[in-house]
Structure 1
């Protein structure tokens, strides 16, 4: 198994997932038994190597996404963290339609000057959890939009219908919303 400074691919992906879900960098470094400069080098080298691996085989992107979303692997497997496992995350956003709903809610709200993070908070989700959920559902979306699959047209139609449904829903909901981004500026 390939390592960089003693850190495996699985541990690298798990470290990134734990960081995204709020684990302090100092705790990640301690768990991996590294010094800060060695961690920085390890992270840079794994980031570069991930690009190379994905060029060779896109299954690495899928595996990275799985580990990012469920970062209990390698030396992180038995560590108590605030990171949610995949099952807990999927309780927040149990299906692809719910994911699309939240995605379009954020997108349309942001176009009206509303902070998309506050939209996430309304669903009980923070940025770290949203990042992990994105990895999970983008992997699903990639399989959904595989143009080589025999049922591609049906899946693509499903994808477009969901997008249209939720975009239209939130555009209608925010149609009368006027943002005043300059209201707190004094001259």
Structure 2
């Protein structure tokens, strides 16, 4: 899925670059020139940011947090930072009650804030709210009240807590490790293995923790372009390992055309 997503994004960049070339013949706008130059130089991030801006969209790099923006106003005191980190902590196994206690609010207030923030992200055609949310989803540790929460419903695992912490830190600082794990999860699912449970069993981490740790990598198109082949290589290696361990072909291999 990750590769398909990246392929779609790069195809869009190629289309935008070609369009910029055509429009440059009739217009000398800086946006067209910047997009074309960035694309030709292989700077996918700048090309995407420029192309998105010209179309009226925000990215995580260009999103703004205007204090007067009605779409970014807190809901019952729950800011978008609170909500993004709260969502990440729920994915780790924290309960809604834990989140509410930490934020000093009642459960109905959180429930309404959840609905409102989700509706804002769904309805925002500029993607500014989504982009701000994505940024904060990767900043769990920086939240003063929620970052330190230990989940009441953490998934059971045999991985020692210190080892799990080390794995999480490595995902945050080692892009090769992050994309290796992405490839491993894909390979697990391809071989009929629950990738989410594999993460818990092998790393002591949830999908939410992995995704939060990798936000910086997944939102940098230059890194994605650099690492996509590496991820494919690791996916192949893990697929061979899973297939060998199970003594059978993966689900994909069993499909007859």
TM-score by length of structure 1 reads 0.69
1:162 aligns with 2:230: yes
| CA-based RMSD | 3.3
1:33 maps to 2:104: yes
Number of paired residues? 164
How far apart are the structure 1 equivalents of 2:240 and 2:146? 44
Aligned with residue 213 of structure 2, among 130, 136, 141: 136
Contact 2:120 2:129 (8 Å CA) reproduced: no
Can you give the 5+ residue segments of structure 2 that lack an aligned partner in the other structure? 1-66, 68-72, 152-160, 252-257
Compared CA separation, residues 175 and 22, structure 1 to 2 (3 A): closer
Mapped contact 1:31–1:76 kept (Cα < 8 A): yes
> Greater relative contact order (Cα 8 A, min sep 6): structure 1 or 2?
1
Give the CA deviation at 1:131: 1.3
Q: Highest Rg: 1 or 2?
A: 2
Contact 1:108 1:170 in 2 (8 A): yes
TM-score, normalised by the number of residues in structure 2: 0.53
User: How is 1:25-174 mapped onto 2 (pairs within 5 angstroms)?
Assistant: 25-51=96-122, 52=124, 55-56=127-128, 59-67=131-139, 69-70=140-141, 72-76=142-146, 80-82=148-150, 89-91=168-170, 94-127=173-206, 130-143=207-220, 145=221, 156=225, 158-174=226-242
**Do the aligned residues in 2 keep the contact of 1:112 with 1:174 (CA within 8 Å)?**
yes
- Work out the CA distance in 1 between the residues paired with 2:146 and 2:170: 22
Instruction: Report how far residue 60 of structure 1 moved.
Output: 0.8
